[in-house]
Structure 1
Amino acid sequence: MDRSVRTVDDVLRLLDGLFPPQADRWDAFYGDRSRQVPFFVAKPDENLVSYLERGLITTGRVLDLGCGPGRNAVHLARHGFEVDAVDLSPTALAWAEDRAQEAGVEVRFRRADIVDAEFTGRYDLVYDSGCFHHLPPHRRVSYRALLDRVLAPGGLFGLACFAAGEMGSELPDAELYREGSLRGGLAYTPEELRWIFADLTELELRRMHDEPAESPCFGERFLWTALFRASSSHPHVDDHG
C-alpha cells in the first residue's frame, strides 16, 4: 500500500515536500563571511536594543529562532540573558559560536528545524529575526504551536519579518503551493500578523528603523518589528504542530 498520510503531522510533512529543502540553501548563503551584507555584520536589531533600553525586556531565558550567525543571541547574552539559539545551517552556527567566543559570552547554539524541535522548559522571551517569513504557510500552524509550548506565562515574543509592499512575496497562500516556491520569503501586512498571533497581546508593531552604516544597530525599513505578550495563564492553542 502506497499511503503516507494518517495524522496531521503526516499532512504537514507531505506539504513540506512541495517546497525545496532549506538547509543547503542557508549553508550556501552563510558560506562567505566576507560578503557585504548588512545582516552579516555583528550588530543587534535596533528594535531589540530599544526593548532593552526601555525596559520592555529584562533578564531571563531567551530562545532565538533562526539565529543565523548570532547577531542578536550574542547581544542578549552580553546583557545577562540565558540564551538558547537554533538554526538549520551548521555554517551559520559555526560563525555564531565564533562570535560568542570572541565576545566572551555563553550561548547554547543548536542545529534544529524549529517546526519539530523539542525544547526544555519555558522562555521569558522568544525572538525571531528573519525566520518566520521563510516558513511555508502550513508551518504557521507549527510555529504557533511552538510558541504555545515554549513561552512562559506573560512571556514576550519579538519578531522581525518582511513587510508587504517592500520585500518578499505577497502571493496568496494557495498560489505558493501551485508554484512550489516561497519566492525568497513571504511578506506580511500588520493585519495579517495580528490575525496569525491573535492569541497574544500586541505591545508594539512598527517598521524597523533604517539605520546608517555607522550605527551600532542593524535596521532596514523593509521589515516589520513586533513585540507581543502571552497571557499570564497562557492557555493552550488548539492547533497541531
Structure 2
Amino acid sequence: MQTFDPIEYKKMVKQYQEDNKPLDWFDTIYKNANGDYKKVFWADLEASPYLINWLKNNKINKQAPKAIVIGCGVGDDAEALSDFGFEVTAFDISPTAIELCKKRYPNTKVDYLVANLFEYDKSWLKNFDLVYECNTIQVLPGDYRIKARVAISNLLTIGGYVLVSCRSREENKNLTDIPLPLDKKEINQFVQSDGLEEISFLAYDDNQTPSVPHFFAVYKRVK
C-alpha cells in the first residue's frame, strides 16, 4: 500500500488477525510513509485537542510528573505532554515509527522507545502519573483487547490518571468493523475490572463528514 486504500488496509489487518499475528502489521504503515511522517495516513499531525484541554485544566502536583504514551505514532501527543512539564516515555511497537519521531523531533526531551505493550519493562509497573491511550485497543482483536486494557491500567501509580481516547459504537453494533470501536460496556471495564475510578467521560462526534463517534474518558487509580 503506497497510498492509503481503506479496503486493502482492512483486508491486511483482518488477515494478520486471522493468522494470530495481530501486532505484526503496524510497522508496514510507517514503512509505507518512506521516511515522511506526513504520509502516515492515520496521523493527525497535531496533539489531541481533548488531551490539550485536559492538561490545561488539570494539574498533577508533583515535580516533573511521569507520563507514558501508548503507541505514540509520530509523536504529537508525547511532545504536548512534554511541553506541559511531564517527563515523557513514548513507545511504539513499530521501529519505523520511533525513527520518524526521532527524526521529526531531533531536540526532543521525550524518551522514544520501541516496545511492546504486552511485554514492557517491569520497572514500568505502577510507575506513571499519567498514561495516554489513543486508538490502540480498537485495532486489536478478541482477548488482546482485554490484555491491552489491563497492561495499560497496570502502568498507573496510586493517584495516577489514564486518559483514553477512542472511536465508539453502540453495544452489539458493527461487530466486524476494522478497527473495532469500543462500546460503553467495554470501556467501563477500566472501572469494573481494573479497579480504577471514572473521573470524567465524554461521548462526542468529530468534525468529519460523515461524523465519527468517539469517547474521551479519564480514570484514576485510587488504590
TM over 0.5: yes
Which structure has the greater CA radius of gyration?
1
- 3-state SS, counterpart of residue 215 of structure 2: strand
Q: Per-residue deviation at 1:185?
A: 1.9
Deviations 1:66-103 (A, max 9, x none): 111111011111222111111111111111112332xx
Structure 2 unaligned spans of 5+ = 1-16
TM-score (norm 1): 0.70
1:162 is aligned to 167
Output the CA distance in 1 between the equivalents of 2:166 and 2:55: 19
Match of 1:114 in 2: 117
User: Using the alignment, how far apart are the partners of 2:59 and 2:212 within structure 1?
Assistant: 22
Q: 1:161 to 1:135 in 2, by over 3 A?
A: same
How far apart are residue 222 of structure 1 and its match? 3.2
Q: 1:225 and 2:204 equivalent?
A: no
Q: Which runs of 5+ in 1 are unaligned?
A: 1-15, 172-181, 213-219, 234-241
Q: Which residue of 2 aligns with 1:130?
A: 135
Could you tell me whether the CA contact under 8 Å between 1:47 and 1:208 is conserved in 2? no
Q: Which residue is 1:29 aligned to?
A: 29
* Partner deviation per Cα, 1:150-193 (whole Å, 9 max, x = no partner): 2100110011112115xxx832xxxxxxxxxx752222222331
* Distance in 2 separating the partners of 1:170 and 1:113: 28
> Within 5 A, what are the aligned runs for 1:12-91?
18-23=19-24, 25-30=25-30, 31-32=32-33, 33=36, 34-35=38-39, 37=41, 39-55=42-58, 59-91=64-96
1:200 aligns with 2:199: no
Q: Deviations over 1:195-237 (max 9, x none)?
A: 354221111221356369xxxxxxx743211111111x2xxxx
> Any idea what SS the aligned residue of 2:90 has?
strand
CA drift of 1:41 comes to 3.9
Write out the 4+ residue segments of structure 1 that deviate beyond 4 Å after TM superposition.
56-59
Higher relative contact order (CA 8 A, sep 6+): 1
Q: Aligned equivalents of 2:103 and 2:203: distance in 1? A: 31
Q: Whole-Å Cα distance in 1 between the matches of residues 218 and 159 of structure 2?
A: 12
- What letter is aligned with 2:39? R
Q: Is the contact between residue 74 and residue 99 of structure 1 (CA under 8 Å) also seen in structure 2?
A: no
Give the residue type in structure 1 aligned to 2:214. L
The corresponding residue for 1:179 is: none
Structure 1 residues 193 and 41: alpha-carbon distance in aligned structure 2, compared to 1, 3 A threshold: closer
Partner of 2:144: 139
Contact 1:161/1:187 (CA < 8 Å) preserved in 2? yes
| Contact 2:69–2:133 under 8 Å retained in 1 | yes
SS of residue matched to 1:40: coil
Q: Which residue of 2 aligns with 1:190?
A: 184
| SS of aligned partner of 1:22 | coil
C-alpha displacement of 1:56:
5.2
Q: Tell whether the 8 Å contact from 2:205 to 2:213 is kept in structure 1 after alignment.
A: no
Aligned partners of 2:60 and 2:138: how far apart in 1? 23
Query: Conserved in 1, the CA contact under 8 Å of 2:167 and 2:212?
Result: no
Size of the aligned set, in residue pairs, is: 193
Q: Specify the alignment match of 1:178 in structure 2.
A: none
